[in-house]
Amino acid sequence: MRTGRKITGGKYRKARKKKLSEYRKPPRLVLLGPEKKIRIRMRGGKFKVSFLKTNKANVTDPKTNTTKVVEIKNVLEVPSNRFLARKNVLVKGAIIETELGKARITNRPGQEGQVNAVLIE
């Protein structure tokens, strides 16, 4: 039988259309540059703050257990996709060069509106 048809030949019809909150949102890639944020309305009227560009990160040193806000110089490597490193895109797991040294991003900047990272040796 043709796809989308019942065994009798009748059509399958949707019960309802999608709600606005059920549509997929476009991906927000956080780039390296002067800080730029947006507010996104979520379901229930709440707002989510998301980065479009940033050049600062909260970097934690695991040895001394201290956190500082430092400037990001460059994106060195993105294990999930090497092309994102060429575009200086900040994603979870990316290795960045900061004033304190190399650090790995531990959160999702496009979802949370901040960049958290941990120093690596």
For the stretch 28-54, pLDDT in tens is: 899 999 999 999 888 899 998 888 999
* pTM for the whole structure: 0.80
Q: Would residue 61 count as lying in a domain?
A: yes
Which residues span the domain enclosing 81? 25-119
Tokens of 99: 């004033």
Q: Amino acid identity, residue 109?
A: P
Tokens of 89: 């895109």
Q: Would residue 11 count as lying in a domain?
A: no
% helix / strand / coil in the chain, to the nearest 5? Answer: 10, 40, 50
What per-residue confidence (pLDDT) applies to 2?
67
Q: Would residue 94 count as lying in a domain?
A: yes
Checking if the pLDDT of 121 tops 80, the result is no
Q: Would residue 86 count as lying in a domain?
A: yes
What per-residue confidence (pLDDT) applies to 20?
86
Residue 12 contacts residue 6 (beta carbons within 8 Å): yes
Query: Any idea what the CATH number is for the domain that residue 100 is in?
Result: 3.10.290.70
Q: Would residue 4 count as lying in a domain?
A: no
- Give 33-36's long-range contacts (Cβ < 8 A, gap of 24+): 33/88
Residues composing the chain: 121
Q: Would residue 112 count as lying in a domain?
A: yes
For the stretch 46-92, pLDDT in tens is: 998 888 999 999 999 999 999 999 999 999 999 999 999 999 999 99
What per-residue confidence (pLDDT) applies to 31?
95
Q: Would residue 114 count as lying in a domain?
A: yes
Overall number of domains in the chain: 1
- CA 110 from chain center: how many Å? 3
Q: Would residue 98 count as lying in a domain?
A: yes
